Amino acid sequence: MNEAPADDEAAPVKEPRLWRDDGWTARVTKNMDDEGWAVEMIKDGEPEPALVGPWTMGRDKKNPKPLDASAFNTLVKTASEVLRRHEQQLHATLHKKLTVNTKSGPVRVTLDIVVDEYDPHALLAAYDAAGEELARLRVDAGFTLTAASAQAWLEGS
């Protein structure tokens, strides 16, 4: 029995409307919002594109400009930056910190949200100026870290 070879997702593809290389796929598609073209950048293993944007028309003003190495490299750089910014924003949302002044000196208080489908929660921790942990408490994932809430927690612990 003769079986067809499986598609190799890692193999580079360099076609006018589809480029795949270095863990990324660029695909030029018809823009459904208007008469133009769009390009989407998908990181290998991800279900959704990291970047979707307009694509340039070709010389005939009908078909899209073909992808090339320079355009692909620029798209990879841009899509990577979008992902990096998204990761930074997510990190900032899940990890908060502030410093409060106490009688014994400044205390850094952190709130680390643990995203869990079944048991979402957060860890509240306090550290002295030397970085030694003073206290740790599991709190609700919706806990809001403010100077007032940190101060109240420190005074109560």
CB neighbourhood size of 148 (10 A):
10
Integer Cα distance of 25 and 75 in angstroms:
10
pTM comes to: 0.68
- Structure tokens, 131: 């970085």
User: What's residue 7's pLDDT?
Assistant: 52
User: What's residue 157's pLDDT?
Assistant: 59
Which residues of the chain carry a pLDDT beneath 50?
Answer: 1-6
User: What's residue 61's pLDDT?
Assistant: 84
Integer CA distances (angstroms), 49 to 36, 43, 79, in order: 19, 7, 9
Integer Cα distance of 78 and 71 in angstroms:
11
Integer Cα distance of 99 and 126 in angstroms:
9
